[in-house]
């Protein structure tokens, strides 16, 4: 789809308001499937349809950074009202983008795992160094690189003008599965807190392997 057409479609959509984010993490992780994540940077605007998420419900969830109400400089943003960007680095090289949710002092977050590229695809290709659109945003680190999300995005208000989520009013068929790479989470390993758009080719490679 040409970028000019995507832009016209995007500016006609409604940005999610604060009240959307003030609900239970599993409800929001499900509802985010089909929404559009947008990042407007000096390099240009890039966006994608959210097709895969994971819910992390602190303080009881042993897979969550806020398990047992762990409150640090890194997790502090999760203790505010929802609707802010929680970004962290893994393996010393990849960023992960999360949406904080629920009311203040209920530290919960939704990890956005994969996007279907929508606008700014050439910019995303340049950032990722690949021409493969299917592989462009098919993982949390990949989508952050493609959209230019890094630690400077930490704490950004998702109701603001730079990093935000739009409602396209399209409802996709949503499937669930256990979350991935949380072997340390004991009894929380197999909870079906992973949400993805059924038969979408842009979900993470790890997830597609689990379905085959």
Give the domain CATH number at 100.
3.10.300.10
Please tell me the total count of domains within the chain. 1
170-196 average pLDDT score: 94
Q: What is the dihedral of CA 202, 95, 78, 163, to 10 degrees?
A: -70
147-160 average pLDDT score: 98
DSSP 183: G
Q: Is the dihedral of CA 165, 137, 151, 10 positive or negative?
A: negative
Tokens 């597609």 belong to: 208
Tokens of 208: 């597609």
Q: List pLDDT tens digits, range 99-143.
A: 999 999 999 999 999 999 999 999 999 999 999 999 999 999 999
Three-state DSSP at 119 gives strand
Model confidence at 170, pLDDT cuts 50, 70, 90, reads confident
pLDDT of residue 209: 43
pLDDT of residue 11: 57
Q: Is the dihedral of CA 67, 72, 75, 77 positive or negative?
A: positive
Cα 139 to Cα 40, 52, 146, 166, 199: the distances in Å are: 20, 9, 10, 20, 16
Does the pLDDT of residue 181 top 70, yes or no?
Answer: yes
Model confidence at 206, pLDDT cuts 50, 70, 90, reads low
pLDDT of residue 155: 98
User: Whole domain around residue 46: which residue ranges?
Assistant: 3-211
pLDDT of residue 205: 64
Q: How far is CA 157 from the centre of its chain?
A: 14
What's this model's pTM, rounded to 2 decimal places? 0.91
Is the CB of residue 138 less than 8 Å from the CB of residue 203?
A: yes
Give the list of residues 6+ apart from residue 140 with CB closer than 8 angstroms, or none: 94, 95, 96, 97, 111, 112, 113, 114, 204
Buried b (16+ CB within 10 A) or exposed e, 68-102: eeeeeeebebbeebbbbbbbbeeeeeebbbbbbbb
Task: Output the average pLDDT for the chain.
Answer: 92
Model confidence at 212, pLDDT cuts 50, 70, 90, reads very low
Q: List pLDDT tens digits, range 21-75.
A: 999 999 999 999 999 999 999 999 999 999 999 999 999 999 999 999 999 999 9
Model confidence at 13, pLDDT cuts 50, 70, 90, reads confident
Is the CB of residue 100 less than 8 Å from the CB of residue 163?
A: no
pLDDT of residue 10: 56
pLDDT of residue 208: 46
Q: Residue 14: in which H helix or E strand, if any?
A: strand 14-15
165-181 average pLDDT score: 92
């Amino acid at each position: 789809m040409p970028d000019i057409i995507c832009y016209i479609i995007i500016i006609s959509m409604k940005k999610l308001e604060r009240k959307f984010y003030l609900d239970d993490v599993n409800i929001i992780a499900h509802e985010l499937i089909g929404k559009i994540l947008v990042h407007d940077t000096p390099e240009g605007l890039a966006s994608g349809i959210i097709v895969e998420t994971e819910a992390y419900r602190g303080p009881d969830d042993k897979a969550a950074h806020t398990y047992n109400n762990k409150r640090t400089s890194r997790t502090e943003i999760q203790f505010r009202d929802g609707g802010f960007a929680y970004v962290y680095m893994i393996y010393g090289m990849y960023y992960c983008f999360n949406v904080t949710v629920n009311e203040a002092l209920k530290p919960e977050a939704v990890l956005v795992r994969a996007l279907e590229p929508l606008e700014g695809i050439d910019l995303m290709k340049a950032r990722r160094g690949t021409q493969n659109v299917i592989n462009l945003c098919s993982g949390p680190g990949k989508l952050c690189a493609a959209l230019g999300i890094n630690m400077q995005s930490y704490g950004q208000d998702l109701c603001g003008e730079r990093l935000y989520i739009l409602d396209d009013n399209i409802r996709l068929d949503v499937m669930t599965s256990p979350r991935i790479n949380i072997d340390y989470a004991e009894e929380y390993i197999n909870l079906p807190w992973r949400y993805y758009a059924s038969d979408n080719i842009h979900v993470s490679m790890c997830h597609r392997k689990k379905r085959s």
